Amino acid sequence: MRDVIVIGAGGGGPVVAKELASRGLDVLLLEAGPRHRKPREQWTHFENDANNPLTGYFRLGPTDRSKPAWYREWPQNSFVWQLSGVGGTTQHFYGNYPRAYPGVFNDYTGDDAANYDRKHRFPFGYAEMVPYFEWVEATAPVMTAAMGTKDQVFFRGCETLGLPVQTTKTTTRASYRPQENAILQPGGNAARTSDPNLLVFPDATGCTMCGYCFQGCMQPINAPRNQFAKRSTDNSYVPMALTADVWAPGGKAVSLMTDAYATRIHTEEVGGVATARGVTWRHNGSGEEHREDARVVVMAGGCTENPRLWFNSGLPNPNGWVGRGYTDHFFDWLIGSFDSDTQSSKGPGSASRLDMPGFGGLENVGLPPALQAFSATLSDSGIRGEYENGRGSTGPWDGPAGRLIGPELKDLLQNGIDTLLNVLVITDDDVEAQNCVTLSSFPADENGPVPRVRFRHRNRTERTNRNREVMARKAAELLRGAGAKKVYRIDWAPLILHVQSSMRMGESEKNSVLDANAESRAVKGLFIADNSALANGLGGPNPTLTTQALATRTAEKIFQHYFDGEGWVGTETPVVSTDPAISRRLAQRGL
């Protein structure tokens, strides 16, 4: 019997695996998708090769790309962008690591407290989270973003809005700032040249400003895996988990199984209480099923797959909240076109942001060309100008909101993507029971009934709709202030890049799945350690730092309550994931 089985090697799972393995526990980490051991041979900067949701190397599917991707039902105009594989969706991510706003925790007493989703707060205070934020910020590590021309343009716009610059990691007021991100700052030749011969480790370290964060980070050339610039978990926590026997005194390396799709969580009655006992998984290649048992099971399959696995395992759902409360930051997207060079496609994808606690945030996002075009065409208002009653059809943007196609799209792109500036609107959205994951009535796949993700777009709470409108207007004003000649609001259909809280922890047992320790209320010994455990949408900040801080706290709770261990956060110095001992051992093991 293992000590702990963790399901899912994305944003959250590897954190628990690494933390517990470094305390000497025997941890099995199961990942449904592939492990890209040699990114420089397996990945490219060709957008279709990377991002095609059916056949791309970044998709939700098994290693064998000749086999179909796994499907989900989403019965509305939307796209759920989640990946399988070691690193999970962090393989795509931009590494922005802002902390959750203090207003979403239950000790918040600020004057603007009423602006937040007060019915769905974290069941503990912000001060309790701070040491866990600090632990992850040191481990990942998190740094102030390297910036370039696009950020200068973004800040030029911010300056016209009369907001101050935020200089502390905790965001306390409406303000703008460089991103704090989990991307190593450029060193040596990096960011000084685009000559690939000079962008080779160790003469170049950290971010080379290539602009392809979306396609998976494999920079600089020849860098050991744990020194790749972007700290997706395949470059940070997973290398640490696999070498915990080297860098942690008394540590034990995590066992990682890939192409291993968990299809059932087993429980047994202990003292009349359902208690997690083990996991069955199916190997994608052979179709063989395996079962292993453990004292503790941790679900980290993401906001969509966790509810699916819960339902397919027949686990209890006494208050009906499994899969409910799916928050998505109700994104929107504005594009400004400029006469001058913005260098939108260069540098870390996103290096500057504006925060309005209680409403949400804005961030600059640079994209490669095909994704830039895609970003202009996913709308819930239809083709721009064709449907005059679209959301926000009037405002400080040009004409009605909507998708750009044909001559208008061509016009936008004709001067090249480096004359554009994109602003992502990240809405502080309410937890709503109606936005949820259930099982689909579509045919099951080889892993059982598939999930159905249901979102209401326009029919959100008044506060959520208000927040999105306030932030979209702010984005347009920012772009105008920065000098944009034209500003387009796309009114994005639900594009699910940030998802949170579908298995939420909460103050009340009436509307939460997890208690304040992230342990399931209905099944003992069963914890959740990914975005789905978050109590709410965090007020708008990107979720991964908070998920990883919470996962670190959850690992401590598991160690204390199930293995008689002691807490360590706040008393020890974290090891940084770029530690050379990790690089050496990865090389020795051919990893």
Please give the residue ranges that form the binding site for ligand FAD (CB under 6 A). Answer: 7-13, 30-33, 81-82, 84-85, 88-90, 92-96, 214, 261-262, 300-302, 305, 309, 497-498, 530-531, 542-544, 547
Q: Which residue has the tokens 């003992």?
A: 524
Phi-psi region of 163 (alpha: psi -120 to 50; beta: other; left: phi over 0): beta
Taking the complex as a whole, how short is the minimal distance between the CB of residue 56 and ligand FAD, in angstroms? 13
Give the H/E segment covering residue 549: helix 544-562
3-class state of residue 551 by DSSP: helix
Q: What is the CA radius of gyration of the chain?
A: 23
Q: Which is nearer to ligand FAD, 484 or 529 (CB)?
A: 529
Tell me the three state secondary structure of residue 353. Answer: strand
Query: Among residues 214 and 359, whose Cβ is nearest to ligand FAD?
Result: 214
Rounded Cα distance between 121 and 501, Å, is 11
The crossing angle, in degrees rounded to 10, of helices 126-139 and 544-562 is 100
Q: Considering beta carbons, is residue 95 or 390 the nearer one to ligand FAD?
A: 95
Least separation in angstroms between CB 496 and ligand FAD: 8
Alpha helix (H) residue ranges in 414-540? 462-482
Q: Give least dist CB 97 to ligand FAD, A.
A: 6
Please, what is the minimum distance in Å from the beta carbon of residue 448 to ligand FAD?
A: 9
**CA–CA distance, 212 with 492 (Å, rounded to integer):** 22
Q: Among residues 102 and 301, whose Cβ is nearest to ligand FAD? A: 301
CB of 340 to ligand FAD, least distance (A): 26
Sign of CA dihedral 121, 514, 434, 490: positive
Measured from the CB atom, the residue of 201 and 492 that comes closer to ligand FAD is: 492
Minimum CB–partner distance for residue 245 and ligand FAD (Å): 24
Instruction: For residues 300 and 310, give the distance between their C-alpha atoms in angstroms, rounded to a whole number.
Output: 12
- DSSP secondary structure, 250-291, as one string: T--PPEEE-SEEEEEEEEEEETTEEEEEEEEEEETTT--EEE
- H or E segment and range at residue 437: strand 436-439
Nearer to ligand FAD by Cβ, of 8 and 239: the residue is 8
> Considering beta carbons, is residue 191 or 257 the nearer one to ligand FAD?
257
Compute the least distance from the CB of residue 548 to ligand FAD, in Å: 9
Q: Kindly report whether the peptide bond that precedes residue 220 is cis, defined as omega within 30 degrees of 0.
A: yes
Residue 308 or 524 having the CB closest to ligand FAD: 308
Least distance in angstroms from the C-beta of 463 to ligand FAD: 23
Integer CA distances (angstroms), 121 to 13, 101, 125, in order: 23, 11, 9
Name residue, tokens 């001559």: 407
| Residue nearest ligand FAD, CB atom distance | 10
